[in-house]
Structure 1
């Protein structure tokens, strides 16, 4: 997930998840990979971008075609279990924001 997500025509929605991790992996990477795989197969998923620094601060932005698609993912049973594990083991704090993307602009240097 280290590349810039190529989204479709605007408007679409962005779910911005910022977090601070606790120490140790405690199964985090494995569950995170499974959640990304599941989300990417869900109808309405457009892509995602994610970064984390050495101090444990991270940001994941997922892109969706509608608020309904976001709501379906929010209520996915496996995702709900992962969120509970996150509160208990993986995050000291987090924030979720949902935004409507009205415009975007992509640039890439020609080879």
Structure 2
């Protein structure tokens, strides 16, 4: 599972959100996932991914791509296609894939908060910022 969040991406970019239901630790899954994680990093336009799973059930993986060409290249990668076929036959009870174009992004990191804003809440001019960033302090 992902232990950090993907950040610092400049929109627009694309996401592939893969939601699934499968048992915990099915045979061969971890090895296949590790192989695919290494392969996707070589796809031009791949920006990163995040994943989480509830015990005994629902999993969500979000993959980020600069453009649809990169996302399509991953979709049609032979090893990825083989893993999808195997997963339908052996691992998954069900899954969904949602493809989206990200127009706007913002976030929060506790350790960066003090460096990003002064005490009056103004953005620190030394920190990069985007006009689309929303102040989510409330």
TM over 0.5: yes
| TM-score, normalised via structure 2 length | 0.76
Aligned to 1:83: 84
Aligned to 2:53: 52
Gaps of 5+ in 1: none
Q: How many equivalent residue pairs? A: 111
In the alignment, the residues of structure 2 paired with residue 103 and residue 23 of structure 1 have an alpha-carbon distance, to the nearest angstrom, of 34
Looking at secondary structure, tell me which structure has more strand per residue: 1
CA contact (8 A) 2:24 2:56 kept: no
Q: Which has the larger radius of gyration?
A: 2
Where has structure 1 moved over 2 Å in runs of 4 or more? Answer: none
Q: Alpha-carbon deviation of 1:48? A: 0.4
Aligned to 1:63: 64
Superposition RMSD on alpha carbons, in Å?
1.4
Aligned to 1:4: 5
Q: Alpha-carbon deviation of 1:109? A: 1.2
Q: Alpha-carbon deviation of 1:55? A: 2.2
Higher relative contact order (CA 8 A, sep 6+): 1
In the alignment, the residues of structure 1 paired with residue 38 and residue 25 of structure 2 have an alpha-carbon distance, to the nearest angstrom, of 22
| TM-score, normalised via structure 1 length | 0.93
Q: Which moved more, 1:10-19 or 1:20-29?
A: 20-29
